[in-house]
Amino acid sequence: MSTCRVHAEIRIDRKPIKSKDWPECDVMKTSVTRAWATRQFRAYLKEFNECDIGLDKVVSVHWEAHYGEEQGFHMSLGHIGGVNGKVIHKTGIFDL
């Protein structure tokens, strides 16, 4: 089984508030880590959209997977950003 190291970080106005690491994730099952990041993003985006004090709070998720020697030492990245309950942009693995 080939593995990679995955790191996901949730940010509000560029400040990290929550992160999670998967030190040895099967490269064929990274969708679980992307799903976790997407769920967190949507939950925070909804939460800040529903409260008055949260207006114009930028919610973002940064996701990265580091592959080892077997996979050629490369990295996959993804980013989702949104504000006021709307997804503004998606890049990398989230732009599928």
Of 31, 23, 26, the C-alpha closest to 6 is: 23
Question: Structure tokens of 58?
Answer: 């930028």
In the prediction, which pLDDT does 26 show?
A: 92
Top pLDDT among 96 and 95 is at 95
- Sign of torsion, CA 13 89 86 79? negative
* Cβ–Cβ under 8 Å, residues 83 and 58: yes
Domain tally for the chain? 1
> Which stretches within the chain are classed as H helix?
31-50
Helix, strand, coil tally for the chain in percent (to 5): 30, 50, 20
Top pLDDT among 7 and 27 is at 7
Question: Is pLDDT of 96 > 70?
Answer: no
In the prediction, which pLDDT does 55 show?
A: 67
Q: What does the pLDDT look like over 33-91, one tens digit per residue?
A: 999 999 999 999 998 887 766 468 899 999 999 998 888 889 999 999 999 889 999 99
Residue 11 structural domain: 3-92
